[in-house]
Structure 1
Amino acid sequence: MFRHLISCVTWLGPIFLSLCVVNPAEAQVDQQRAEEYFSEATTICQRDGGRLWGISLCGPMVFADARTRTRATSQPHSAEDWPRVFGFTNAPVDWGGTRWVTYTWDFTTALPNSRVRREFMLHELFHRIQPDLGLMPLSGQNAHLDTFEGRIWLRLEWRALSRALAQSGEDRKRTLGDAAAFRLKRRSLFGNAAENERVEEIREGLAQYTGIVVVADSRADAIASTIEHLAAAEGHETFLQQSYAAGTAYGVLLDDASADWRRNVRSNSDLGQMLMAALNVAPAADAVEASARYGGPEIRSAEQTRAEQRRTRERELRSRFVDGPVLLIPSGGGTTFNAVGATPIPGVGTVFVLPCRVKGEWGTLEATNGILVNDDGKRRLAGPIRIEGINIRGEGWTVMVASGWTVRPGPRSGDYQIMREP
């Protein structure tokens, strides 16, 4: 999913993708448990039998841990060295001429229950076949969803979708009219919002939809899991990685409204528009009036408090990662970030505050006290900076520079940057 290296962080409700500094003994891949997980996923995709998308979801899988260099595979593997991203990401990866799905072991074992784990594994298996379905648009840029107004209208849409999932008939159609009004209101406030949201709903929303419906034992189970997914999304501190959650709900609702929708969906489709057209639903006339039915005033008050707190936090982070001395690290390499507490700094990038580990051709990085990822993918670590041979250190972080790379003064006094040697 990232593509996958960053964009799919937080795909799964309250669970966040992260590669933290862990005890190697705990991180080491357990072969027996891995085989059990492979068997679970294979049984589910065999039960589906390609019915959902016309293509089997089954495929080769690998669990990996980068720190202990341990792995487990669901089938015999190539003699080639394993790709450097193994153990750093959950994503489809080519290895020895075969398209595998790789899962980070510590993340998988931290999932709260077997249903969530199965949904997660099938979510990733869908990503493996997604290009074959022609449903792999480029990721959207949805920073507007973490703004004051963006968050309000997104929360309202999620609440309306949750209510609609629990309803049927005319009640569902009326509620979906409210969801459509909230969606249109939000998109009218931000340029390119409709396109950016749409592509993430196709790219990630359909993956989570697939995980939910193929794992569920019944229609009721699929609806309950989708409602839980929406509720968890609303509880996230940041919505930067939650733009696709509505897409998951629209997919489940489309199953009731249009039996052939999966044959007709394209990479340029809008799932919300597909559902409203299938049910002949028009947006509610007054989004503000409709919002009162979903706790709109309370949401606005809560978001006002959050916005004030966020401005204070943003000033603090800007002082550390933008105004003060920094170490500049090239983009690229395997990495995952935990989006809990992620704070966007407009015009610069996003600060991720929880532990992460990054590996690239330039070296390796371990950070426990925050890292800023620029909009162009480069990273910044806050100074002051100490250079000790191939090691560079700061408060809460260490970088080991790879052979062929060096540290040089940066563009400002006090800055440093990692660069390839001439």
Structure 2
Amino acid sequence: MGRNIIICASWFGLISLTLCLINPAAAQVDQQRAEAYFKEAAAICERDSGRLWGVSLCGPMVFADARTRTLATNQPRPADNWPQVLGFTNAPLEWGGSRWVAYMWDFTTALPTPRARREFMLHELFHRIQPDLGLITLSGQNAHLDTVEARIWLQLEWRALARALDQSGEDRKRAVSDAFAFRSARRSQFANAAENERVEEIREGLAQYTGIVATADSRAEAVASTIGHLAAAEGHETFLQQAYVTGTAYGVLLDDASEDWRRSVHSNSDLGQMLMAALGIRPTADAVEASARYGGVEIRSAEQAREKQRKARMLELRNRFVDGPVLLVPSGGGATFNAVGATPIPGVGTVFVLPYRTKGEWGTLEATNGVLISDDGKRRLPGPIRIEGANISGDGWTVTVASGWTVRSGPRSGDYQIIRDP
């Protein structure tokens, strides 16, 4: 993912598993199995041979498990100390003067199919070379994608892109025109939406595109996989990670429309605009009318019902994580969590309700019943709070405070916070 904080279960459109509940004893890295995975990745990289991006996708890889302190590498292990985030992240990291790709072992082995695993490994290998390609972007703030209107138009865009992938000629052009009309309708309703969505499609969409296209044994397989991602995305509780499937779809369509598009894409490019230019088409004039071709009425009805449920859920979460007593845990460190069911609370942060695990210089945290990640990166855990020396616990969560840190009263009555010893 290119970041210390990663998302366990929504990295990949077809995954709806809880991947972080792994028995620690089973999480130990299996050297023989890891070697087989390294060979899979190497074979795909060698077959690509720089075809996609002009450089090899191959590079140093490490599977690690933080709890058992076991790892496997495809190159000699550096003499340097184990990086702090190793075992807590799927992302590139610097180790021993080289850029490695780190994979969490339990996440990798829990992927549902061999193809999913291969796409995942190549996705992360692209992130390793992404800086050299000049395709690094800052994170886009896309909370608007979980609003009713944005979700409606985004699903319409996905459906139009899936139809375009399944068609050719004028039928494909018509579907792409519809997709761009839906895209434009959505972005026109939210300030900075176009830029925030665009940067995520470059950063994560291109990585997912690479994973799918490099792994596929044929063009038809790449198209089928992309259509599968688009269909599965609609079932996600949150659409905050839309960049993966949307960026992938535009990339696969660009492969047919413009053979050299990968040589001209830049960090400031918009993949949708590139596809429109390559096909020589304009957006459909009436997006509302076009939506009827993709079940727009049904989508709107379903989203309005979901919104009523979401408001009730948000009130419950606000009572637990905002209004009631909380433990404030510092930002920083790597984390693993499952974004399925994540709920943004405007002006506060996002509540992740499925398993969350993190480690920082302040200590460790494991939560199975929700944690709120504030906009400033701090974590909030709901009370009542029990303190027993360095161990702090609550309903569904435990924290172990590291040496040099302590627990003190928080800014409000009933709150606590972890701070460095004075």
1:382–1:315 CA distance, 2 compared to 1 (3 A): same
Q: Deviations over 1:139-182 (max 9, x none)?
A: 10111111100100000000000000011111100111100100
Question: What does residue 104 of structure 1 align with?
Answer: 104
SS of match in other structure, 2:188: helix
User: In the alignment, what sits opposite 1:208?
Assistant: 208
Equivalences for residues 201-240 of structure 1 within 5 A:
201-240=201-240
In the comparison of the two structures, how many residue pairs are matched?
422
- Cα offset, 1:91, TM superposition: 0.3
TM-score by length of 2: 0.98
Is contact 1:181–1:285 with CA below 8 Å preserved after alignment? yes
SS in 2 for 1:154: helix
- 2:295 is aligned to 295
- 2:305 matches 1:305: yes
The aligned residue for residue 321 of structure 2 is 321
Matched, 1:129 2:129: yes
Q: Quick check: 1:11–1:242 contact (8 Å CA) kept in 2?
A: no
Paired with 1:8 and 1:272, the residues of 2 have a C-alpha distance of: 27
Amino acid of the residue matched to residue 22 of structure 1?
I
Whether the 8 Å contact between 1:19 and 1:357 is mirrored in structure 2 is no
| Residues 350, 374 of structure 2: 8 Å contact kept | yes
Question: 1:417 maps to what in 2?
Answer: 417
Runs of at least 4 residues off by over 4 Å: 16-19
Distance 1:326 1:19 in 2: 27
Q: Which amino acid aligns with 1:20?
A: C
Alignment of 1:390-405 (within 5 A): 390-405=390-405
Matches within 5 A, 1:10-409: 10-15=10-15, 20-409=20-409
Taking the aligned partners of 1:416 and 1:370, their CA distance within structure 2 comes to 17
CA contact (8 A) 1:238 1:343 kept: yes
- Deviation of 1:16 after TM superposition, in Å, equals 6.0
CA distance in 2, matches of 1:4, 1:84: 10
- CA apart distance, 1:19: 6.3
User: What is the SS of the residue equivalent to 2:99?
Assistant: strand
Structure 2: 5+ residue runs without aligned partners?
none
Contact 1:91 1:102 in 2 (8 A): yes
Q: Please list every run of 5 or more consecutive structure 1 residues that lacks an aligned counterpart in the other structure.
A: none
Q: Matches of 1:128 and 1:368 in 2, distance apart? A: 31
Preserved contact between residue 357 and residue 367 of structure 1 (Cα < 8 Å): yes
What do you get for the CA RMSD once the two structures are aligned?
1.3
* Aligned CA distance change for structure 1 residues 240 and 8 (closer, same or farther; 3 Å): farther
CA contact (8 A) 1:3 1:139 kept: no
Which stretch of structure 1 is more off in the superposition, 81-90 or 30-39?
81-90
Contact 2:4 2:85 (8 Å CA) reproduced:
no
- Kindly provide the amino acid, as one letter, of the partner of residue 334 in structure 2: G
Return the offset for 1:243: 3.1
Name the aligned partner's letter for residue 326 of structure 1.
V
In 2, Cα distance between the equivalents of 1:280 and 1:313? 45
Deviates more, 1:234-243 or 1:40-49: 234-243
Deviations 1:353-408 (A, max 9, x none): 11121100000011111100011111000001111101111111111100111111
- Report the AA paired with residue 160 of structure 2: A
CA distance in 1, matches of 2:70, 2:356: 19
